[in-house]
Amino acid sequence: CGTANAGAEDEGEAEAGWIEGAAILLSVVCVVLVTAFNDWSKEKQFRGLQSRIEQEQKFQVVRGGQVIQLPVADILVGDIAQIKY
């Protein structure tokens, strides 16, 4: 009697075994999507802060013999930056 029962249970588990695989696959996909979204969100926030810093921070440079104030992004090769602290 015990052997007949064990055989029926194994057969039922084999038929429903794909559910465990599908659940694991779905879990992995969810983790990957959440991680990708978080990375994208952090990157977007970083880019916004970086552009704000570049526009707000200004340096005095000597360009063409004249002293002018420029944002960091507008400094070119050949400009002489005046660093003050």
Q: What digits encode the pLDDT tens for the residues 24-78?
A: 999 999 999 999 999 999 999 999 998 888 777 888 999 999 999 988 888 899 9
Distance in angstroms (rounded) separating the CA atoms of residues 34 and 43 = 14
Q: Which residue has the higher pLDDT, 74 or 3?
A: 74
pTM of the model: 0.52
- Whether residue 3 is predicted with pLDDT greater than 60 in this model: the reply is no
The domain tally of the chain equals 1
73 phi, psi to nearest 5 deg: -65, -20
**Tokens describing residue 55:** 């526009």
Look up tokens 């588990």; give the residue: 13
pLDDT of residue 6: 54
Distance (Å, rounded) from C-alpha 45 to C-alpha 39?
Answer: 10
**Structural domain range at position 47:** 2-82
